[in-house]
Structure 1
Amino acid sequence: MDDHLPKPLIKNIAFFGDSHIPEENPVYEDAYEIAKTLAEEGFTIVDGGGPGVMDAATKGAEAANGETIAVTFYPKDAPGFEGRYVGNIVDKEIKTTNYIDRMFKLMEHADLYIIFKGGSGTISEFGTAWVLAKLYYGHHKPFILYGNFWHEVISVIKKNMLIDETELGVFRIVSKKEDIVPAIKLFEEEMKKVKHEHEKNHEGKAYMK
């Protein structure tokens, strides 16, 4: 790479989604293929080190010899949490002590998030990514909502909640695997227009301590 060229603002991409889907599920298959494509494009894949979408993300990236990072925690008193999946083998593991710390570390170590279909855990990650993007708008971390069903989800939220136009500009809904990379490139171009004082002032984090 030419040292005189600016470094890309989007390098690490985190995958969020259901932890219970099997390998034959279309969501798993899409996550695998998307991670593989992104790894081929030079992106590092970040996930929670668990099964389901997380496992698909790691395996897809590894299939393309891409770099993978898992942010994990080993629950002792959270029986509803899936925990670490031994089959999800990554290049680097970052261990945390609780679910909240894990979620924020995942967001800290990624520059963009892709959110797939999931349950209440995925809803919490979606909501956190959204509110952080609003709070730090202009030096925020964008996200992609993957799947056509998100149009209905966002429509219901817009109808029943108080959401402004700025908040609707921090994400894109993508329904096809082949549209992921173009969407990321659009975000990259948009972010280049903004001076990222955020990284200098907050050490690259998407939230305040």
Structure 2
Amino acid sequence: MPEETFTLAANPTYTINKIAFLGGAAWKENDQTYKDAYETAKLLAQNGYEIVNGGGPGVMRASTYGARAGKGKVLAVTYHPNKPKRHYEGTDPLNIPDEEVVTLDYFDRTKVMLQNTDLHIVFNGSLGTLSELGMTWISSWIHEPNKKPIILYGLFWQDIVNALAVHMCISAEEIKILKILGSPTEVLEYIKSIDAKQGV
């Protein structure tokens, strides 16, 4: 994949404070994706970043627990259906944030979370994760050069991005918005490199 060329020329005062964690709700504590989300959130919290998630289980709970371990702050953007949805995980009683914002529905939850964060990290997941990736990706593309950086966590994403480039009408410039990284340290270094470019 071409090297990321992140620019925010129209907004030189842009800084990264709140970071959205997006990913599967089905992951358990012994799963590698859960562990990766936990360790990434912990490291980012230790470095002063606020963690934002959807208030559910899996990657969301892992990022809350990681932020807690890193002495950081957590915001949950949630959706509480009027009645249970068979294919929606809902909120997780074990995922207790410092602050909660309640939204109207699933799409509103995603929109509010993406709008009120400065960078988005997408971990492995299922259909919900794909929808979140699609929403942040197209939003960044539409608002380029004021795009928000998107990190795809895990080297498996390379095969997916390559397949999209080959089989769909997606340009190299659109792909450049995405940054594939494979460790918490790489995530932190990348975020700090963006802040450094903005003179933070």
- Number of residues of Structure 1 aligned to a counterpart in Structure 2: 187
With over 3 angstroms needed to count, the CA separation of the structure-2 counterparts of 1:168 and 1:108, relative to structure 1, is: same
Q: What's the secondary structure of 2:152's corresponding residue? A: strand
Once residues 33 and 47 of structure 1 are traced to their aligned partners in structure 2, the CA distance between those partners, rounded to angstroms, is 15
Q: Which runs of 5+ in 1 are unaligned?
A: 1-5, 194-209
Please state how far the C-alpha of 1:189 moved relative to its aligned partner. 4.2
Q: Deviations over 1:101-145 (max 9, x none)?
A: 000011012100000000000000011111011100011111100
Q: Which runs of 5+ in 2 are unaligned?
A: 1-11
Q: Which runs of 4+ in 1 moved over 6 A?
A: none
Please state how far the C-alpha of 1:76 moved relative to its aligned partner. 2.6
Amino acid at match of 1:65: K
Residue in 1 that maps onto 2:78: 72
Listed as ranges, the matches of 1:144-183 within 5 Å are: 144-183=151-190
Amino acid at match of 1:161: M
Amino acid at match of 2:61: D
Q: What's the secondary structure of 2:24's corresponding residue? A: coil
Q: What's the secondary structure of 2:76's corresponding residue? A: strand
**Is the contact between residue 172 and residue 183 of structure 1 (CA under 8 Å) also seen in structure 2?**
no
Residue in 1 that maps onto 2:128: 121
Please state how far the C-alpha of 1:186 moved relative to its aligned partner. 2.7
TM-score normalised over the length of structure 1: 0.85
Give the one of 19, 24, 27 matched to 1:18.
Answer: 24
**Is the contact between residue 36 and residue 64 of structure 1 (CA under 8 Å) also seen in structure 2?**
yes
1:33 aligns with 2:54: no
Please state how far the C-alpha of 1:188 moved relative to its aligned partner. 3.0
Higher relative contact order (CA 8 A, sep 6+): 2
Q: Deviations over 1:63-100 (max 9, x none)?
A: 12101000001113532110010100110000011001
TM-score normalised over the length of structure 2: 0.89
Residue in 2 that maps onto 1:184: 191
Identity of aligned residues (%): 38
CA RMSD of aligned residues (A): 1.6
